[in-house]
């Protein structure tokens, strides 16, 4: 199922672009050799790849927020300050909203799905489920 979409979408190039973008952001956000938690960068990368593959859209929603998230990660006490704690919550709420949007997109694809027509990952997933793979 993913193979059909991956070949058409040139998945290897998409992954390379997303990884390069995330690596650049990490390099510019964190001093060389300084420890940091890469969790938000990894999450952003996976979401960007999945969204592009599934819906043909690249998600950039967390890219602009990673600098402040990195500061909060380096200094956990910042979470106790409402400005920073609220910011972190808003970022993760945005991630939840994106997840819900993905679910809605999938449900919409279910209504318009046509057997044998695979335009994106959602169509490939639906086709695979219907064929019992």
- Cβ neighbours of 73 (radius 10 Å): 19
The answer to whether 119 and 8 are in contact (CB under 8 A) is no
Q: Which of 113, 109, 23, 10 is nearest to 53 (CA)?
A: 10
Give the tens place of pLDDT for each residue, 6-53: 555 577 788 888 888 888 888 887 778 888 778 777 877 887 887 777
Give the tens place of pLDDT for each residue, 47-69: 788 777 766 666 655 555 566 77
Helix axes 2-9, 121-131, angle to 10 degrees: 160
Give the tens place of pLDDT for each residue, 102-120: 788 888 888 888 888 877 7
Domain ranges of the chain: 2-131
């Amino acid at each position: 199922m993913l193979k059909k979409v991956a070949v058409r979408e040139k998945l290897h190039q998409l992954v390379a672009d997303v990884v390069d973008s995330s690596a650049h952001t990490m390099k510019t956000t964190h001093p060389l050799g300084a420890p940091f938690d890469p969790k938000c960068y990894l999450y952003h990368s996976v979401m960007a790849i999945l969204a592009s593959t599934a819906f043909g859209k690249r998600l950039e929603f967390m890219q602009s927020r990673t600098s402040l998230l990195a500061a909060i990660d380096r200094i956990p006490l910042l979470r106790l300050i409402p400005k920073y704690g609220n910011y972190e919550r808003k970022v993760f709420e945005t991630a939840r909203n994106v997840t819900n949007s993905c679910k809605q997109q999938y449900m919409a694809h279910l209504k318009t799905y046509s057997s044998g027509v695979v335009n994106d990952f959602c169509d490939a997933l639906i086709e695979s489920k219907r064929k019992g793979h």
